[in-house]
Each structure stands twice: as C-alpha cells, then as structure tokens.
Copies of this chain bind each other. A is one copy, B any other.
C-alpha cells in the first residue's frame, strides 16, 4: 500500500506566502490544487527538523529529562532533543544537544528511524539516534533560559510510567517502545 512520491492524491502548490514570522514560528499560507482540480488553503509551520537521542549508560539505564512545557502548562519526561542548526548534520545536532542538555557524551551512536510528529500542519521531522555507553563528567552547557532536570532510569520503570500515562510526549513514547523491541529481539 505504500506509494512513491508521484502520488495520485498529490496537492499542487498554486501560491505560497509568509503568513506570520515570529522569533520561533514560521507560518506559511498556501493555496493548492486538489486531485479533483478544486482549490484549497493549507496553513503550515516550516520547521528545520530536530534530533532526539536515546542515551544509554553501560549498565543499561537511560538518561532522561524533566522539563516544563509551556503550551501544556506542565512538566514532561523526555529524551534529550533539539532543533537542527543551519548547516549541521543530524548526528552533530544529537551530540551537541546531548552534551548541552545533560553533560553526557561519547558512546556508540546509531540512527534508528525518522518520524514526523505533526503531518497535518508542520514539515517537522525528528531523527532518532540510539547512543549506547555515554559518559558524563558532571558538567553541562544549557542554553540561556533553559531549565531542565536530568536523571537516569531503567527501561522497565520508564515503560511503567508510559503505561500509567506519565510519559505522553510522542517522540519519547516511540523511543521507549522502539528500545523495548530492540532489547526483546536481542534477548
């Protein structure tokens, strides 16, 4: 059922304009031609892409973060992640963000998968890396105005939080479930 890029359902751009440009959000307002020839509007956010890291210690525990997320007015438990800077490779973003946010570095890095969190209104993609054997000397380098708590936890405990509804960030949920499948396959 998966198809290539030349889709029979494709929508073709007729006009595109910048609807809003803030410090962080870049909103586009496009007019498209639908498969039946009629016109429609498509509003969407242009995003540079992001990287999420699943950092694993030598004993198998995970490095995670607790961070306040303003749009939802509460803390979230997450894996480290951040936006790709212009000209940066996703691997470099991952290694930079992991060190900045948590102080962990090194280890064996492997690209696991790419996911899309907001397909109806953003072109954001998230590259997910597994980083096994990371180490820390206790320093980190948070951006100004960035506040987050770093902790380590075993996968079974994190999966329990997931099933209790205490971990709900989609990228983090996917990271935990993906890692669980990998470990079951190795076992």
Contact = CB atoms under 8 A, between A and B. Distances in A.
A145 B22 contact: no
Interface stretch (A53-61, A69-77, A86-94, A99-107): A69-77
A186 interface: no
Tally of this chain's copies = 2
A177 B184 CA distance: 13
29 contacts: A1-B64, A1-B149, A2-B75, A2-B77, A2-B161, A2-B167, A5-B73, A5-B74, A7-B75, A11-B70, A20-B20, A22-B29, A25-B43, A27-B27, A30-B70, A32-B70, A34-B147, A71-B120, A71-B121, A76-B116, A115-B168, A115-B169, A116-B170, A117-B118, A118-B122, A118-B124, A125-B168, A170-B174, A174-B177
